[in-house]
Amino acid sequence: MIAAALSARRWRRVFLIFALVVAAYALLAPLTSLDAAQSAGVPLLADKLWFRIATLIAMFIVLATAWNIIGGITGYAAFGNVAFFGIGAYTTGMLIAKAKWPFAAALPLAPVVAALFAALVGLPLLRLRGHYFAVASLGVGVAVGELVQNIDYGGQPVFGGATGLFLPIYAIANRGLFFFYVMVGAAAIAIAVTWWVLRSRFGYGLIAIRENEEAASVLGVNTTAYKVAAFALAAALTGLAGGIFSQWNVFINQDNVFPIEYNVQMILMALLGGTGTVFGPAAGAVLLQLLIQFLGGSLPISLDIPFVSASARPIVAQIILGLLLVLVVIFVPRGVIDFFGGRARLSLAYLRRSLRETSL
C-alpha cells in the first residue's frame, strides 16, 4: 500500500518534470529563430513551420480548456462551441478590416461579443438537457456559420460572403513569433480561469449542477444563472482564440472559422486528457493535435504507412483518427491524465475494467 502510494507519487513527479521540460522547450525554442539569436550563433531549435504548429496547439488548448468549463465541469455536452470561435474571429476581423481598428483594440471585443451571444442563446438552450441540449447547440453552431456567410445588406455581403474576409497583415517584426506568444497567453488565461473556477464557490455550484441539477437547485444554487455564466465564460475564452486566429491567419471564411470538426476535436481533446481537471484538456490538446499533424504529414518526423500511396495518406489518416476515437471512448473513458497523475496504471486490467463498466 505504502509502496503503491510512493510509486504513484514518483510517477507524478516524473510526469511533472517531463511536462515542465516540454513546456519550457516549446516556449523558449522559437526564440532561437530571432535574428539576434541566429547571429550570435545559437542553434536553430524551432523553425517557422514548427511554431506555426505550436500556435495551433496553443489555440486548441484554449478551445479544449474552454469547452471543459461547460462540458466537463458543468456537464452540459455543448456541441456548437465553434460558433463562439467564429463569432470572435469575425468580430475582430470586421473591426480590423472594415472599421480599421488596431488589433490591440479589436481583440478585447471578441470575447465580449462571443460571451453576449452565448448568454443570449444560452438562456433558452440551457433549459434543455442531455441530447436535446447537445443537438440544439450543434444547430446553433451550424446556423451561425451559414448566417455569417450569407447575410446580405443592400445586395452586398455584410461579412465578406462566400469569398471570405481579408485582413491587413499585422505589421510587426517576427509576426509568427508574436502570434505564438499571444496564443500561448490566451492558453495561460484559459488554464488560470479553469484553476480559479475549480476553487471558487462558482465552480462548486457548477459541479453540483453536473452531479444533480435538482439537488443543486434545492441547495440554493441559482442554476440558470450559473449555467449561463459558465456557457458565457467558455464562449469568451473560445472567442478570444478566434479573435487572435483572425489576425494571425489574415483570411477568414466559413470553412476555417466555423468547421464542425473543431467541435468534435475540442471535446475529444478534453476527454483524452480528462474532463473536469485543470490541465487535462491542455494535455489532450497537445497529444491529439500532434497526432493529427503527424498523420497529416505536417511534422518533420513522419512515418511511411506501408501499402499506402502518398495520395491516399490523408484518407488513411482520417480512418486512423476515427478508429482512435472509437478506441479511446471504449477503453480510456476517463482520459490519459489518470495514468500521468498516478491515479491509475495502464494495464490490461484497467482496460478490461473500462470496458466492463460501460458494456451491455
Partner 1 sequence: MAYFVQLVIFGLLAGGVYVAVGVGFGLVWGVLNIVNLAHGALVITGGYLTWQLFTAFGLDPFLTLPVDAVALFVLGYALQRGVINRIIRAPLLFTFLLTFGVNLVIVNILLMIFGSDSRSVNPAYSGQGLEFGSIVIPYVRLASLAAAILLAAGLAFVLNRTRIGLAIQAISSDRDAAQLVGIDLRHAYAVTYGLGAACAGVAGGLIALIQAVTPTAGEPYTLLAFVVVILGGLGRVSATVVGGLAFGLVEQFAQSIPGSGSVFANAIAFGLMVLVLVTRPQGLMGRLR
Candidate list 5, 42, 323, 349; residue touching partner 1; CB under 8 A: 323
Q: Find the binder of partner 1 among 128, 158, 250, 305 (CB under 8 A).
A: 128
**360 lies in the site for partner 1, by CB under 8 A:** yes
Our finding on whether 336 is near partner 1 (CB under 8 A) is no
| Contacting range for partner 1; rule: CB under 8 A; set: 41-49, 222-230, 241-249, 264-272 | 264-272
Closest CA to 232 of 347, 125, 128, 321: 125
Binders of partner 1 in range 78-97 (CB under 8 A) = 79
DSSP, residue by residue, 262-291: HHHHHHHHHHHH-TTSSSHHHHHHHHHHHH
C-alpha to C-alpha distance for 298 and 57, rounded to whole angstroms? 13
Residue 12: how many CA atoms within 13 Å on its side-chain side?
11
Q: How far is the CB of 270 from partner 1 (least distance, A)?
A: 9
Distance set, CA 170 to CA 183, 184, 325 (Å)? 15, 18, 38
**Segment lying near partner 1 (by CB under 8 A), choices 27-35, 96-104, 177-185, 310-318:** 310-318
Interatomic CA distance for residues 190 and 278, integer angstroms: 9
**Minimum distance, C-beta of residue 242 to partner 1, in the bound complex (Å):** 20
Q: How far is the CB of 303 from partner 1 (least distance, A)?
A: 19
- Residues in 101-120 at the binding interface with partner 1, rule: CB under 8 A: none
> Rg (Cα) of the chain, in Å, rounded?
21
Residue 105 backbone phi and psi in degrees, to 5: -85, -30
- CA-nearest of 111, 116, 104, 69 to 89 is 111
Mask of contacts with partner 1, 36-65, x by CB under 8 A? ------------------------------
C-alpha cell at 168: 491587413
The one-letter code for the residue type at 247 is Q
**Residue 273 burial by Cβ neighbours in a 10 Å radius (0-12, 13-18, 19+):** buried
User: Is 124 one of the binding residues for partner 1 (CB under 8 A)?
Assistant: yes
Q: Which is nearer to partner 1, 264 or 290 (CB)?
A: 264
CB of 131 to partner 1, least distance (A): 5
Q: Does 359 bind partner 1 (CB under 8 A)?
A: yes
DSSP-assigned beta bridge partners for residue 166? 251
Decide: is 330 part of the binding site for partner 1 (CB under 8 A): yes
Report whether 289 contacts 68 (CB < 8 A): no
What DSSP assignment string belongs to 313-328?
A: HHHHHHHHHHHHHHHH
Interacting stretch for partner 1, rule CB under 8 A, among 88-96, 107-115, 260-268, 286-294? 260-268
Near partner 1 by CB under 8 A: residue from 13, 42, 108, 132: 132
Q: Which of positions 134-173 make contact with partner 1 (CB under 8 A)?
A: 134-136, 138-140, 142-143, 146-147, 149-150
Piece in contact with partner 1 (CB under 8 A), picked from 90-98, 131-139, 229-237, 288-296? 131-139
Angle at 344 between CA 343 and CA 349, to 5 degrees: 160
221, 236, 292, 321: which one binds partner 1 (CB under 8 A):
321
Contact set with partner 1 (CB under 8 A): 71, 77, 79, 124-125, 127-128, 130-132, 134-136, 138-140, 142-143, 146-147, 149-150, 264, 267-268, 271, 312, 315-316, 318-319, 321-326, 328-330, 333, 355, 357-360
